[in-house]
Amino acid sequence: MAAALEISNLQAWYGESHILHNVNMTVQPGEVVTLLGRNGAGRTTTLRAIMGLTGARKGSIKVNGEEAIGLPTHRIAHLGIGYCPEERGIFSSLSTEENLMLPPHLNGADQGMSVAEIYAMFPNLEERKHSQGTRLSGGEQQMLAVARILRTGARLLLLDEISEGLAPVIVQGLARMITTLKSKGYTIVMVEQNFRFAAPLADRFYVMEHGQIVETFVASELSAKMPVLTELLGV
Ligand SMILES: Nc1ncnc2c1ncn2[C@@H]1O[C@H](COP(=O)(O)OP(=O)(O)OP(=O)(O)O)[C@@H](O)[C@H]1O
Ligand SMILES: [Mg+2]
């Protein structure tokens, strides 16, 4: 079976700024992988480069074996990728349910989750289905942002700092959501600053520094890697 995501020698620029230098990363179907790094390491840029949202890119990005490096963003999404950017992009004038009705189904992707399935997974979104986007708490907005992606049928999820700025009890809810999605076979790449949130969830870890991957290890190696992580991330 092809990797869900196979990135080789990826370089990316914003204008003249060369941000990513030879990023290599492979994610198998059903894996949860966490991309760690200090501020400005290039984690968001990696997710944006996968989606074709940076300037120039070089190298290879294969999604389920298909080369995506030359494709425009909408074609990349249609390979079955759902990108949840840090800024969430909830339509504030629309209700929760209207936000859930908007996303298009991706060609060729599995059927997305129905609104009923979404409500079964996120009961608090059902309670808030008539509330306007602006009325939702940060945690509810974050869940809605992920739920909208699940509606498209994407099976590979790129999640940028979903726990950021949320209260611990809400972050626990997001951790349960990741565990549920993993049990449903979704493939997840999470960018996280919150190491304590990411650590128990991930099958594998990548650490970035200055636009390169500087460490990679599996969950069972985590405790042995703590001294290195402390040095690289200050965790
Ligand atoms: N639109 C942009 N134009 C030019 N440079 C950018 C742009 N966005 C980010 N950069 C630069 O690219 C580098 C990597 O930024 P990136 O946003 O990928 O970091 P990050 O690892 O996600 O960290 P954080 O989210 O904590 O800022 C930084 O030096 C940043 O200043
Ligand atoms: Mg970032």
Q: For residue range 206-217, what is the model confidence (pLDDT) as tens digits?
A: 999 999 999 999
Q: Tell me the pLDDT tens digit for each residue of 171-220.
A: 999 999 999 999 999 999 999 988 889 999 999 999 999 999 999 999 99
Instruction: Looking at the CA of 18, name the nearest ligand.
Output: 1
Mutation probe of ligand 1 site: the residue of 11, 38, 44 with most atoms within 8 A of C-beta: 44
State the average pLDDT for the chain.
94
Say what percent of the chain tops pLDDT 90: 86
Q: What angle do CA 56, 57, 62 make, to 5 degrees?
A: 150
Q: Is the pLDDT of residue 109 over 60?
A: no
Instruction: Looking at the CA of 55, name the nearest ligand.
Output: 1
Q: Is the pLDDT of residue 122 over 90?
A: yes
**Which atom of ligand 1 is closest in space to residue 48's alpha carbon?**
18
Do 153 and 111 touch, CB atoms closer than 8 A?
yes
Do 86 and 145 touch, CB atoms closer than 8 A?
no
- At residue 232, the pLDDT reads 87
Class of domain 5-233: alpha beta
Token pair recorded at residue 202: 């991930």
- At residue 233, the pLDDT reads 86
Could you tell me if the CB of 183 is within 6 A of ligand 1?
no
Could you tell me if the CB of 45 is within 6 A of ligand 1?
yes
Q: Tell me the pLDDT tens digit for each residue of 67-84.
A: 999 999 999 999 999 999
Phi, psi of 114 (to 5 degrees): -75, 165
**pTM metric for this prediction:** 0.95
Instruction: Looking at the CA of 85, name the nearest ligand.
Output: 2
Could you tell me if the CB of 18 is within 6 A of ligand 1?
no
Could you tell me if the CB of 42 is within 6 A of ligand 1?
yes
Phi, psi of 26 (to 5 degrees): -130, 135
Q: What angle do CA 189, 103, 144 make, to 5 degrees?
A: 60
